[in-house]
Copies of this chain bind each other. A is one copy, B any other.
Amino acid sequence: MEERVKQIKQQLSAHNYKLTPQREATVRVLLENEEDHLSAEDVYLLVKEKAPEIGLATVYRTLELLSDLTIIHKLNFGDGVTRYEFRAEGAEHHHHHLICLNCGAVDEIIDDWLGPIEKRVEKEFDFQIIDHRLTFHGICHRCKDQVKDPGKLVGSKVT
C-alpha cells in the first residue's frame, strides 16, 4: 500500500505534478477499494470520510489527472456514470468484464484472450489497435438459479 502510494507519487513528479493531501487521500481510497469499480461520486463520498474538506471538483480533477497519466482507467458500463479502476501493472490492455444483468455484479477476466482476434482485425481492416474493450452481459453463477427466463432481461440496456 505505502509503496504503491510512493510509486504513484513518483509517476506524478515525473510529469511535474505533486501528490497533494487531497490527491493522496483520493489515491488511497482508490487503492483501498481496488476490487470495486467506483464512480466519481463514490470516490468523493469515501474521500470525504477521511478528508471532509475536499471538494467534488478536486476529486474529478484528480481522477482525470490519474487517468491522463494512465495510472487509472475510465470505464463505462452503460449506467450513466464513469467508473474508475487501476490499470493492471504493465498490462498493455485492460482486462475484460462480466456484467450480470440480474444483480449488476461486475466480475473480471484477468487474461487477455483477444490476441488472435486482434491480429485478424489489424490485418483485415488495416486498423492499428491501441486498446480494446470486451464486456459480456449475462447471468452470473450466483444468479443462475433464480433467473428462469433470461430473454426477459435483454432490452433497453446500453451496451
Which residues of A approach B to under 8 Å, CB–CB?
64, 67-68, 70, 73-76, 78, 82, 94, 98, 100-101, 107, 109, 113-114, 117-118, 120-121, 125-141, 144, 150, 153-159
Q: B138 and A154: CB pair below 8 A?
A: no
Q: How many Å from the CB of A154 to the closest CB on chain B?
A: 6
29 intermolecular pairs with C-beta atoms under 8 Å apart: A70-B155, A73-B159, A82-B158, A94-B159, A98-B127, A101-B130, A107-B125, A107-B127, A113-B117, A113-B120, A114-B117, A121-B136, A125-B141, A127-B138, A127-B139, A127-B140, A127-B141, A128-B138, A129-B136, A129-B138, A130-B137, A130-B150, A130-B154, A131-B137, A131-B138, A132-B135, A132-B159, A133-B133, A133-B159
Kindly list the 9 A-B residue pairs having the minimum CB-CB distance in the complex, ordered from nearest. A126-B141, A67-B156, A74-B158, A129-B138, A128-B139, A130-B138, A131-B137, A133-B159, A68-B156
Q: Which residues of B contact A156 (CB under 8 A)?
A: 64, 67-68, 74
- Asked if B125 contacts A98 (CB within 8 A), the reply is yes
- Closest residue on chain B to residue A130 by CB atoms: B138
CA distance A75 to B159 in the complex (A): 5
Determine the distance from Cα of A11 to Cα of B2 in the docked complex, in whole angstroms.
59
- CA gap between A135 and B75 in the complex, in Å: 13
Contact A131 B154 (CB under 8 A): yes
Beyond A75-B158, A82-B158, A109-B121, 4 additional contacts (C-beta under 8 Å) are: A67-B155, A128-B138, A128-B139, A130-B137
